Amino acid sequence: MSENIQEPEQWSTQGFLAQFMRIHEQMPDRSFAFILGAGASRASRIPAGGELVQKWLEELHQRADGQSALADWATAYNLQIEDFDYARKAEFYPQIYERRFRRDPDEGYADLETVMADKEPSFGYSVLANILDQTRHKVVITTNFDNLVADALSIYTRSYPLVCGHESLAGFVRTRLRRPLIAKIHRDLLLAPINDSDGVNHLAESWKKALTALFSHHTPIVLGYGGNDGSLMDFLQAMPPETIPGGIFWCYRKDDGLPNERIRSLVSQHRGALVPVLGFDEFMLQLNDKLKFQFLADAVRQRANERAEHYQNQVEAIQKRLDDSTTDTSPETLAVKQAMQDSVARQQLNSWWDWELKARQTQNPEERERIYRDGLAQFPDSVELTGNFAVFMDDVRKNYDEAERLYRKALELDPNSAKNTGNFAIFIAAIRKDYNEAERLYRKALELDPKNANNAGNFACFKLIQNQLIEAETLAKQAWQLNAGHAEQVGAEAALYLGLIARLQQRDDQAALGRLKTLLQTGFMHVSWSFDTLLATAQSRLAEPDYRMYAALASAILDTDQVGDLDQYPRWREVAPIALNVYWEDQQPVDSD
pLDDT at residue 39, as a whole number: 86
pLDDT at residue 590, as a whole number: 43
Which residues partner with 222 through β-bridges? 35, 250
- DSSP result, 487-499: --HHHHHHHHHHH
**Percentage with pLDDT > 70 across the chain:** 95
pLDDT single digits (tens) 357-401 = 999 999 899 999 999 999 999 999 999 999 999 999 999 999 999
Residues 146/116, Cβ–Cβ less than 8 Å? yes
pLDDT single digits (tens) 39-50 = 888 888 888 878
- DSSP result, 120-178: PP-HHHHHHHHHHHHSS--EEEES--S-HHHHHHHHH-S---EEE-SGGGGGG--SS-S
Please list, in sequence order, all residues whose beta carbon lies within 8 angstroms of the beta carbon of residue 440, skipping any fewer than 6 positions away: none
CATH fit for domain 9-46+121-295, picks 3.90.700.10, 3.20.20.70, 3.40.50.1220, 3.30.460.10: 3.40.50.1220
pLDDT at residue 593, as a whole number: 40
Q: How confident is the model at residue 253 (pLDDT cuts 50, 70, 90)?
A: very high
Rg value, the chain, Cα: 32
pLDDT at residue 588, as a whole number: 47
pLDDT at residue 321, as a whole number: 84
The average pLDDT across 91-104 equals 86
Instruction: Decide: residue 459, CB within 10 A, 0-12 exposed, 13-18 middle, 19+ buried.
Output: buried
Strand 249-253 relative to strand 218-223: parallel, antiparallel, unpaired?
parallel
* Residue 239: half-sphere exposure toward Cβ, Cα within 13 Å: 26
pLDDT at residue 1, as a whole number: 44
pLDDT single digits (tens) 320-344 = 888 877 778 889 889 999 999 999 9
The average pLDDT across 558-577 equals 94
The average pLDDT across 450-454 equals 94
pLDDT single digits (tens) 257-272 = 999 999 999 999 999 9
- Report d(CA 44, CA 39) in Å as an integer: 10
Candidates 225, 233, 171; CA nearest to 202 is 233
Q: 417: helix, coil or strand?
A: coil
pLDDT at residue 3, as a whole number: 52
pLDDT at residue 193, as a whole number: 61
pLDDT at residue 545, as a whole number: 94
Q: CA distances (Å), 163 to each of 39, 140, 247, in order? A: 20, 10, 25
Helix, strand, coil percent values for the chain (each to nearest 5): 60, 5, 35
Q: How confident is the model at residue 187 (pLDDT cuts 50, 70, 90)?
A: confident
Residues 504/550, Cβ–Cβ less than 8 Å? no
Kindly tell me the sign of the dihedral angle through the C-alpha atoms of 355, 360, 365, 367. negative
- Kindly report, as residue ranges, where domains of CATH 3.40.50.1220 are found in the chain: 9-46+121-295
Residues 183/211, Cβ–Cβ less than 8 Å? yes
pLDDT at residue 480, as a whole number: 96
Q: How confident is the model at residue 416 (pLDDT cuts 50, 70, 90)?
A: very high
Residue 93 has pLDDT above 90, yes or no: no
Helix and strand tally (H, E) in the chain?
28, 8
